[in-house]
Structure 1
Amino acid sequence: MPTFSKDDIPKDWQELLGNYFDSSDWINLVSNLQSALDIDPAMVRPESSQFFRALKLTAVDSVKVVILGQDPYHSPGLAQGLAFSIPENIPANSREFPSSLRNIGKALALEGFGHLPNGDLTTWAEQGVLLLNTALSVRLGEAGSHANLGWKSLIDRLISGLASQRPHLVWMLWGAHAQSKIALIESSIDQLILQSSHPSGLGVYKTNKPFLEPGAKVSCGHFTKANQWLKQLNKEEIIWVGETPQTNLFS
């Protein structure tokens, strides 16, 4: 039977969370998640071993960019513990390929980085892009179904702890849900906060800060702005697509 415990979280992230594990919030989260797993683990996505995959792939000291998602994909075969990422074997022209990830690919192409070869964003995580959802599990077929199980307290502590301990981070906040976390970030030292509408099919063009302009001919430029920020700090830029970033429209 799958289990859920503090030991699933890497030691460096445990240290960042400090005394959180002594709180009633953590006890409540463990109880709620274990109950869901005990009832039917096959209905919980991703598998419990992947709840903290984003933290395992991106160490605290390596974080350069944070992209906040909402909750894991609730369709079968998609969630893999990284916000917006899906397994590489999902064809880009299939109905299973999420609209949000499709629009992320459009933005990258518009900014001159080229086309994503597939929907697996693991290479981003390995370069210091923390792909963090604000709930790390979901019931299969039910979007937002685990949002009230207790994930909020954990993710808020991760966000505020990271912002306070790591200056000069880039935060990509897409949509109102991600932007609700701004108060946890903006009081910290020298953080670059980039905001736009959510890249999903329903919201990509909405708000006065669209992720893509209507007609999908101009991007919000977040990927370029992130690399410009890193370059100014003499940090290695993120290779968003391929071996090296190409000259782009926003440089």
Structure 2
Amino acid sequence: MKALFSKDDIPSDWRALLGNYFESADWQSLEKNLQTVLNADPGAVRPEPQNFFKALKLTPVDSVKVVILGQDPYHSPGLAQGLAFSIPAEIAINSREFPSSLRNISKALALEGFGQLPSGDLHNWAKQGVLLLNTALSVRLGEAGSHANLGWKSLIDHLINALSKSKPHLVWMLWGGHAQSKLPLIEDSQNQLILQSSHPSGLGVYKTDKPFLEPGAKASCNHFSSTNQWLIEHKSSPIRWVESVQNDLFS
């Protein structure tokens, strides 16, 4: 019987990038801790185990252009998909369940001339090479940060460092202090564009000397347009941040 959690759940290209990490005590500890949690109460874990590594499955190593770092999955029912910041498309934009982070991301996109998001589902970003990576890949329902100490940090830190060293010309969007704590893993690598701002959630969106949105939402941090300019300069196709509904239907 297949274990609920193992390295085989990680796509082979990402396993190759991580090299001998799977022989480490850190990986063995994460594997043991996650298996214990899943054995105890699998229904309380989000996202579902088959979606822990969805970001890696939808965005192969060779296709990564942009990395957006989140913290941990949404802990409210019906939100977590395995992609940082993304939620199911059927959750209405004007509903209370729609996260403030996504509302502010949509505002920033509109301010930069891309238009507003048609929904909170960001699968299309992932398929274009935007790695939507949380720094913990699981959470207990109703308890934010509850799996932060299970051992995810070591895995994700190794992945971030290996990716930055192996791929030139990546864009890193580091929103908020938690994402920016990963800066030492990236900044020694060659020719990476590192964009930093406050986190897009709630009141934090306006904080720090690098706000995600200017107070009153009069201007954005311009991360999305800066990313596309960088990609074009390095002979790569820009990201279609907002797809029209009509285009989605025929894609």
TM bin, normalised by shorter chain, reads: over 0.9
Whole-Å Cα distance in 1 between the matches of residues 119 and 40 of structure 2?
34
Question: How far 1:115 moved relative to its partner?
Answer: 1.1
TM-score, structure 2 normalization: 0.96
Equivalent residue for 2:9? 8
Q: What is the CA deviation profile of residues 12-54 of structure 1, one whole-angstrom value per residue up to 9, with x for unaligned ones?
A: 0000000000000001001111111111111100000000000
Runs of 4+ in 1 over 6 A off after TM superposition: none
Equivalent residue for 1:26? 27
- Report the AA paired with residue 228 of structure 1: Q
Question: How far 1:234 moved relative to its partner?
Answer: 1.3
State the SS of the aligned residue for 1:202.
helix
Note if 1:151 corresponds to 2:152. yes
Q: Is the 8 A contact 1:2 1:48 kept in 2?
A: no
Equivalent residue for 1:188? 189
- Report the AA paired with residue 22 of structure 2: F
Q: What is the CA deviation profile of residues 188-224 of structure 1, one whole-angstrom value per residue up to 9, with x for unaligned ones?
A: 0100000000000031000000000000110000000
Equivalent residue for 1:92? 93
Equivalent residue for 1:247? none
Equivalent residue for 1:248? none
Equivalent residue for 1:37? 38
Residues 171-250 of structure 1: pairs in structure 2 closer than 5 A = 171-242=172-243
Identity in percent? 74
Q: What is the CA deviation profile of residues 62-86 of structure 1, one whole-angstrom value per residue up to 9, with x for unaligned ones?
A: 0000000000000000000000000
Residues 15-164 of structure 1: pairs in structure 2 closer than 5 A = 15-164=16-165
Whole-Å Cα distance in 2 between the matches of residues 163 and 38 of structure 1?
35
Whole-Å Cα distance in 2 between the matches of residues 39 and 242 of structure 1?
41
Whole-Å Cα distance in 2 between the matches of residues 93 and 15 of structure 1?
42
Question: How far 1:88 moved relative to its partner?
Answer: 0.3
Q: Is the 8 A contact 1:2 1:41 kept in 2?
A: no
Would you say how many aligned residue pairs link Structure 1 and Structure 2? 243
State the SS of the aligned residue for 2:91.
coil
Question: How far 1:2 moved relative to its partner?
Answer: 7.0
State the SS of the aligned residue for 2:133.
strand
Whole-Å Cα distance in 1 between the matches of residues 3 and 14 of structure 2?
22
Equivalent residue for 2:166? 165
Whole-Å Cα distance in 2 between the matches of residues 138 and 25 of structure 1?
19
Whole-Å Cα distance in 1 between the matches of residues 110 and 190 of structure 2?
32
- Unpaired segments ≥5 residues, structure 1: 244-251
- Report the AA paired with residue 130 of structure 2: V
- Report the AA paired with residue 156 of structure 1: D
Whole-Å Cα distance in 2 between the matches of residues 173 and 162 of structure 1?
15
Q: What is the CA deviation profile of residues 143-195 of structure 1, one whole-angstrom value per residue up to 9, with x for unaligned ones?
A: 00000000000000000000000010000000000000000001001000000
Equivalent residue for 1:246? none
Q: What is the CA deviation profile of residues 111-153 of structure 1, one whole-angstrom value per residue up to 9, with x for unaligned ones?
A: 0001111000000000000000000000000000000000000
State the SS of the aligned residue for 1:85.
coil
State the SS of the aligned residue for 1:86.
coil
Q: Is the 8 A contact 1:45 1:140 kept in 2?
A: yes
Structure with more helix by fraction = 2
State the SS of the aligned residue for 2:239.
coil
Question: How far 1:242 moved relative to its partner?
Answer: 1.7
When the two chains are superposed, the root-mean-square deviation of aligned CA atoms in Å is 0.9
Whole-Å Cα distance in 1 between the matches of residues 50 and 138 of structure 2?
11
Whole-Å Cα distance in 1 between the matches of residues 103 and 16 of structure 2?
36
State the SS of the aligned residue for 2:103.
helix
